[in-house]
Chains A and B, each alone.
Chain A
Amino acid sequence: MKVLVTGASGMLGRQTALALATRGDDVTVLQRHPSGLPLREVLADVADRDAMSYAARGQDAVVHLAAKVNVTGRWADYERANVQGTASVVQACRAAGVSRLVHVSSPSVAHAGAALVGVGAEAADPPRARGHYARSKAYAEQIALGADGDALAVVAIRPHLVWGPGDTQLVGRLVERARSGRLPIIGSGAALIDSTYVTNAVDALVAALDRCRQAHGEALVVSNGEPRPVGELIADICRAGGAPVPTRHLPYPAAALAGALVDAVWATRLALPFNGSPGDPPLTRFLAEQLSTAHWFDQRRTRELLGWSPAVTLEQGLAELAASLRVT
């Protein structure tokens, strides 16, 4: 199968492209900067419709991972990367006669701030989604699933908190913050949070590609199915990363307030003509909420439709992570 993978510079995109190539698929990757992968490569922005159409030509399938994933930034940037980017991918698939599209989404697209306790994949809800990232991804998922039809089968996969060796997003930030003592435990630390070890997410994307016809039109949440109290999960990741385990507790209302203040300050700074981005803030309201309310899911439908189940347990994943960090 000829497959185009967008966003292969991130951990998940990179490993998905490699997994497909390893099993014998003819893989092309597309992202803005060289990936370093030994694969055919198109350097472009997904929102660039011409480049995207060129890259999609002759492909059987597209796995669309490219997205702006930071926790802060201007709405216009998210809108361009995530909403316009996805529209561009969909248009390219249609123009090129691609028959399968696996759109990588996020459980946050249906999250309005309340705890998610064993829920299934609700419909994306852009107006109620929290923050620019979640809202832009919600629009993106609507665009992708809206394109589902006889000619093009679309599946939206929502992996929750993907982590693993080589992860700069979650693991990298947690470890870095823990090292600099900027990582408090918010609230009681008891909120149950599920997460996804990277190879399990890769397996799910590959399964979604293969089962695109059976599962088309669906949004499916993917996770390890092993939720842990957030305090414990963060401590485990810090421990695996060789960083000190956080001990400082911050009550949720204080954290939410601090997050809201930071949101305001960063918004001001983004609006000012600084040179470059102010970088990631220490805590946002979105993050405070994410780290203090439960997030875990009913995955029966995902497992049934994809014929997939997580092969690597949380414990094994943590051991792999620790080993990878020791080697490097």
Chain B
Amino acid sequence: MTRATDAARRPPVLSGLDPAWSRLVTAPDADGVDRTWHLLDNGVSPTIGTLLCVHGNPTWSYLWRRFIAQALPGWRVVAVDQLGMGWSERTTPRTLAQRVDDLCSLTDALGITGPVVTLAHDWGGPISLGWALEHHDQLRAVVLTNTAVHQPSDTAGPALIRLAHAPGVRPTSCVATPTFVRATTALSRPPLPRAVRDAFAAPYGSAARRQAVGDFVADIPFDPRHPSAPRLDDIAERLTELADVPALLLWGPRDPVFSDVYLRDLRKRLPHADVHRYEGASHLVTEDAPQASTHVWQWLSDLVDARDSREHAGDASDRPPARPTALNDGSLATEGSAGSLPSDQPLWSALCDRATDPATAIVELGGRGRRVTFAQLEATVADLAAGLASAGVQPGHRVALLVPPGADLTAAVYACWRVGASVVVADAGLGVSRMGRALRGAAPDHVIGIAKGLLLARAARVPGQLIAAGPLDRATMALVGASDSLADLARRGRSSGRPTLPPPPGDDAEMAVLFTSGATGPPKGVVYRQRQLRAQLAALRSTYRLTSEDRLVAAFAPFALYGPALGLASAVPDMEVTAPGTLTATALADAVSAIDGTVVFASPAALRNVVATAHELTVDHRRALAGVRLLMSAGAPVPASLLRQMTALLPAAEAHTPYGMTECLPVADISLTEIEALTTDDGVCVGHPVAGVTVNISALDADGRAVGALVSTPGVTGEVCVSAAHLKDRYDQLWATERASRRNPGWHRTGDVGHLDHDGRLWVEGRLVHVVTGPDGPVTPVAPEQRVESLPQVAMAAVVGVGPTATQQTAVVVVRSGTAPPGEARDGLADPDLSAAVRATAGVPVAAVLVTRELPVDIRHASKIDRARVSAWATKALAGGRVGRP
């Protein structure tokens, strides 16, 4: 007997929900009993397809409101409330198998016959996949968000769900009280508006209405003897049948229920899936990252476009299934090795060529002060590769490296490459927590680290087998959970007589994941394949005319690794790698004299300290430094004055600053000689694009968006776009970011703004996100900042926008170089004389001039101003609020 409160009904008026979408539909359930469903349906007669949305527990179809509102023409969107849930009819407890059958019966009743894309969240995932497997012929694609189909053996299961699962807890938390219902929306980051939280809770107002919430939890099979376990296992096993179906996985990594562990499990089952991880988003990923609905529609429209273009091409039969973007999983990296050998030599061939060379390859000046010859390095790499293979490192695996620059790191990198694995390298300059999140996201299969690195990996829950680097006693290894040490593995490799390694990875093999500095958001993983790294080596070799006669002193971590691949001896000076400012002049000179260095690479922060400590140099030091022919400095803007001071210490060196980014390096280069011959223009001149790189500009519109077609016209200011063979392959598990950066096929949008001059040189004027969008058009920050910084009373200046986009006013925030006049606040409005001077110099209309004691800068280089933060501070101060500090 159905009680009145159990009947299906339509929801009241709720935030973001169009009542016109709401409908009640009756269909037989799994057992043939007629049930009334509530669902949201945009009612479109589909010409392209139907998006079938399945919520989890304890939400309802409200979760999909944005997907309906943003539906593309030709798409029907149907979002169901599962039986017993939302506003659908209350029923007896339902098993997973019944829920799949219920859904199949409903779609029959709705007459959904054409192509279907499934979209699901939480425990809606297995149900939607169950439906998908039953409807393979009409299945167009699957989209999954924070869900699971399998309990990976290495985890105990979602702790929160297990807790809710416990007898005694479940009836209280799920049914008698709205704890579970409310806790679900409370997981969101940033917190959801009250109206949205209330809307999610609306159908679950009483214990009777919440009965299915508890039943749903009880139906989660943690135990193989659970009645729903066989059906869930069946769905999980059969996902291989979806290998030809495009898939998209959208994930909120902060989910305490469905963590990255479940994403990795799904990626193994759907290796062809495109992935986007919304860093910072939690369980309700589509609420925390509302742009997800835009991304799903973009992905679907790309899918349709790809199919259309294939059909127009006429030979759809022998092509692989349409994919909206590049292959997106490391496990595909072995593709090339199965077929023909790569046309070129592997990345490490320069090292193999010197397998018997007794010349020095690497010198470590700090710590143990080791010296390794090319022959020794090659032998270690070969031993270690064999050892890694025996420890389970396979082609396509990712290996995170938390080892300071030096012989161990170099050997580990080349050994990983030799077994076909990819290295994941995060710069300690990211800071511990961001580095931990970055590594966890990259999902390495193994982690090689020194004690500190392994502890960090443990603390940050980075997955993978732990391997100890450096001298680490057994007790410590046991403590951090490391199975082997590099020394163990090398020994094992040597004693095993070096078993046959896999064939060298192909050109398409993934070789590295590097992280951006994250100055404007969380760090992004950047994936390189062998062909791109090889192109990068070639670009460096040709731009800087590097030969095997050169010897490299690398005080800039990433470059230390390239020595062996370039066939160069290298030295790492004695310094704290995470703090470039610790490089002293004598430490640099010691490193140079240890290998008779000819090339020095250091960040500007390191060079600043070298200049500051130059008085400590002895005559011998100075003699050694006189042998350096080339000085390179990069990573942050390098002032010409600093290069000039350095050339006084390195009298034979030509000073260069390469320009580039984690996604493409080098892009351009300029020498001190060229800098000194420049005439003034807006921004910082970074020189001509290096050979093999093309730079174009996408002009800004009045709102500061880079919408212009790619041009090389001099004087056009816009986003800097680059094309090169050594451009990144893609961003890692950031499908939407990758799509945006590749808006122009073959090009990468750098996020920098600038212009080309009549000689073809590139001038950088700031970051696109920092462009001030005023009523008179966009203002780029760097040029006015430079002009203001030319004032004697100004030490540092930031030009920022205040107010809404496209109607912003320009504020200049200044750090004084001298003492402030009496009456001027330490942080606040500038004194009238300073204001007048800044206005007269800036060259752009200035609404306000503020002073502050210190401008926020990045950790890594202590020189990139965090203009977004300065803008937020200035906005608050200039609105009349309390003036704190930026």
Residues on A facing B (Cβ under 8 Å): 115, 117-119, 187-192, 225-232, 235, 247, 252, 292-294, 296-300, 303
In the complex, B403 has a CB within 8 A of chain A: no
- Contact indicator B809/A232 (Cβ below 8 Å): no
Which of B150-158, B425-433, B878-886 touches A? B878-886
Chain B residue with the shortest CB-CB distance to A192: B878
Which of B175-183, B590-598, B664-672, B842-850 touches A? B842-850
In the complex, B875 has a CB within 8 A of chain A: yes
Contact pick for B879, options A117, A247, A252, CB 8 Å? A117
- Contact indicator B847/A226 (Cβ below 8 Å): yes
Within the assembled complex, what's the spacing in Å between the Cα atoms of A228 and B806?
Answer: 18
Tell me the B807-841 residues at the A interface (CB within 8 Å). Answer: 807-809, 823, 825, 828-829, 832, 835
Residues of B within 8 A of A296 (CB): 803, 809
Residues of A within 8 A of B832 (CB): 232, 235
In the complex, B540 has a CB within 8 A of chain A: no
In the complex, B97 has a CB within 8 A of chain A: no
In the complex, B802 has a CB within 8 A of chain A: yes
- Contact indicator B845/A191 (Cβ below 8 Å): no
In the complex, B775 has a CB within 8 A of chain A: yes
Q: Which of B806, B847, B878 has the most CB of A within 10 A?
A: B878
Task: Name 10 interchain pairs, CB-CB below 8 A, sorted by A.
Answer: A117-B803, A188-B877, A190-B828, A190-B850, A247-B823, A292-B880, A293-B879, A293-B880, A294-B878, A294-B880
Contact flag A189-B829 (CB < 8 Å), given A225-B775, A294-B879: yes
Q: Is the interface of B mostly helix, strand, loop or mixed?
A: loop
Residues of A within 8 A of B835 (CB): 232
B806 to chain A, nearest CB (A): 7
Contact flag A118-B829 (CB < 8 Å), given A191-B878, A227-B847, A298-B804: no
- Contact indicator A192/B802 (Cβ below 8 Å): yes
- Contact indicator B807/A115 (Cβ below 8 Å): no
Q: Which of A190, A191, A227, A303 has the most CB of B within 10 A?
A: A190
Nearest 5 A-B pairs (CB), nearest first? A118-B803, A191-B880, A115-B879, A298-B807, A293-B880
Residues of B within 8 A of A247 (CB): 823
What number of residue pairs across chains A and B have CB atoms under 8 A from each other?
A: 81
- Contact indicator B802/A226 (Cβ below 8 Å): no
- Contact indicator B847/A192 (Cβ below 8 Å): yes
Contact pick for B883, options A118, A188, A298, A300, CB 8 Å? A188
Contact pick for A188, options B803, B808, B825, CB 8 Å? B825
- Contact indicator A300/B806 (Cβ below 8 Å): yes
Contact pick for B804, options A118, A192, A227, CB 8 Å? A118
Within the assembled complex, what's the spacing in Å between the Cα atoms of A181 and B807?
Answer: 36
Contact pick for A192, options B806, B828, B879, CB 8 Å? B879
Contact flag A190-B809 (CB < 8 Å), given A226-B845, A235-B832, A299-B775: no
- Contact indicator B806/A188 (Cβ below 8 Å): no
Contact flag A192-B807 (CB < 8 Å), given A226-B847, A232-B829: no
B771 to chain A, nearest CB (A): 16
- Contact indicator A188/B847 (Cβ below 8 Å): no
Tell me the B844-886 residues at the A interface (CB within 8 Å). Answer: 845, 847-848, 850, 875, 877-883
A146 to chain B, nearest CB (A): 28
- Contact indicator B878/A229 (Cβ below 8 Å): yes
Within the assembled complex, what's the spacing in Å between the Cα atoms of A189 and B830?
Answer: 10
Within the assembled complex, what's the spacing in Å between the Cα atoms of A191 and B877?
Answer: 7
- Contact indicator A228/B879 (Cβ below 8 Å): no
Residues of B within 8 A of A227 (CB): 809, 847-848
Residues of B within 8 A of A299 (CB): 775, 807
Within the assembled complex, what's the spacing in Å between the Cα atoms of A322 and B829?
Answer: 24
Within the assembled complex, what's the spacing in Å between the Cα atoms of A252 and B877?
Answer: 13
Chain A residue with the shortest CB-CB distance to B880: A191
Chain B residue with the shortest CB-CB distance to A289: B880
- Contact indicator A188/B775 (Cβ below 8 Å): no
Chain A residue with the shortest CB-CB distance to B801: A118
Residues of A within 8 A of B878 (CB): 117, 190-192, 229, 294
- Contact indicator A300/B880 (Cβ below 8 Å): no
A92 to chain B, nearest CB (A): 37
A187 to chain B, nearest CB (A): 6
- Contact indicator B877/A190 (Cβ below 8 Å): yes
A207 to chain B, nearest CB (A): 17
B298 to chain A, nearest CB (A): 29
Residues of B within 8 A of A226 (CB): 845, 847
Contact pick for B880, options A187, A228, A298, A303, CB 8 Å? A187
B216 to chain A, nearest CB (A): 45
A22 to chain B, nearest CB (A): 29
Residues of B within 8 A of A188 (CB): 825, 828-829, 877, 880, 882-883
Within the assembled complex, what's the spacing in Å between the Cα atoms of A117 and B880?
Answer: 10
A112 to chain B, nearest CB (A): 14
Q: Add 8 more A-B contacts to A190-B878, A226-B847, A296-B803 (CB < 8 A).
A: A117-B803, A118-B803, A188-B829, A189-B828, A191-B880, A229-B829, A232-B835, A299-B775
A241 to chain B, nearest CB (A): 16
Within the assembled complex, what's the spacing in Å between the Cα atoms of A213 and B832?
Answer: 45
Contact flag A115-B803 (CB < 8 Å), given A189-B829, A225-B775: no
B839 to chain A, nearest CB (A): 9
Residues of A within 8 A of B775 (CB): 225, 299-300, 303
- Contact indicator A190/B883 (Cβ below 8 Å): yes
Residues of B within 8 A of A189 (CB): 828-829
B568 to chain A, nearest CB (A): 55
Within the assembled complex, what's the spacing in Å between the Cα atoms of A227 and B809?
Answer: 8
Within the assembled complex, what's the spacing in Å between the Cα atoms of A299 and B804?
Answer: 12
- Contact indicator B875/A117 (Cβ below 8 Å): yes
Chain B residue with the shortest CB-CB distance to A193: B880
Contact pick for B809, options A192, A252, A303, CB 8 Å? A192
Chain A residue with the shortest CB-CB distance to B776: A225
Within the assembled complex, what's the spacing in Å between the Cα atoms of A292 and B832?
Answer: 18
Residues of B within 8 A of A292 (CB): 880
A142 to chain B, nearest CB (A): 26
- Contact indicator B880/A118 (Cβ below 8 Å): no
Contact flag A229-B848 (CB < 8 Å), given A118-B808, A190-B829: yes
Contact flag A117-B848 (CB < 8 Å), given A231-B829, A293-B880: no
Within the assembled complex, what's the spacing in Å between the Cα atoms of A235 and B831?
Answer: 11
Within the assembled complex, what's the spacing in Å between the Cα atoms of A247 and B847?
Answer: 21
A302 to chain B, nearest CB (A): 10
Chain B residue with the shortest CB-CB distance to A291: B880
Chain A residue with the shortest CB-CB distance to B875: A117
Residues of B within 8 A of A303 (CB): 775
A102 to chain B, nearest CB (A): 23
Residues of A within 8 A of B847 (CB): 192, 226-228
Within the assembled complex, what's the spacing in Å between the Cα atoms of A18 and B835?
Answer: 37
Contact flag A118-B828 (CB < 8 Å), given A190-B880, A247-B823, A293-B879: no
- Contact indicator A191/B828 (Cβ below 8 Å): no
Residues of B within 8 A of A252 (CB): 880
Within the assembled complex, what's the spacing in Å between the Cα atoms of A303 and B804?
Answer: 17
Within the assembled complex, what's the spacing in Å between the Cα atoms of A230 and B848?
Answer: 10
Within the assembled complex, what's the spacing in Å between the Cα atoms of A56 and B761?
Answer: 67
B807 to chain A, nearest CB (A): 4
Chain B residue with the shortest CB-CB distance to A298: B807
Residues of B within 8 A of A231 (CB): 829
Contact pick for B848, options A115, A118, A228, A235, CB 8 Å? A228
B824 to chain A, nearest CB (A): 11
Residues of A within 8 A of B807 (CB): 118, 297-300
Within the assembled complex, what's the spacing in Å between the Cα atoms of A115 and B803?
Answer: 11
Within the assembled complex, what's the spacing in Å between the Cα atoms of A188 and B828?
Answer: 7
Within the assembled complex, what's the spacing in Å between the Cα atoms of A220 and B879?
Answer: 22
Residues of A within 8 A of B808 (CB): 118
Residues of A within 8 A of B804 (CB): 117-119, 298
Chain A residue with the shortest CB-CB distance to B809: A227
B493 to chain A, nearest CB (A): 65
A225 to chain B, nearest CB (A): 6
- Contact indicator A117/B850 (Cβ below 8 Å): no
Chain A residue with the shortest CB-CB distance to B823: A247
Residues of A within 8 A of B803 (CB): 117-118, 296
Q: Which of A115, A192, A227, A298 has the most CB of B within 10 A?
A: A192
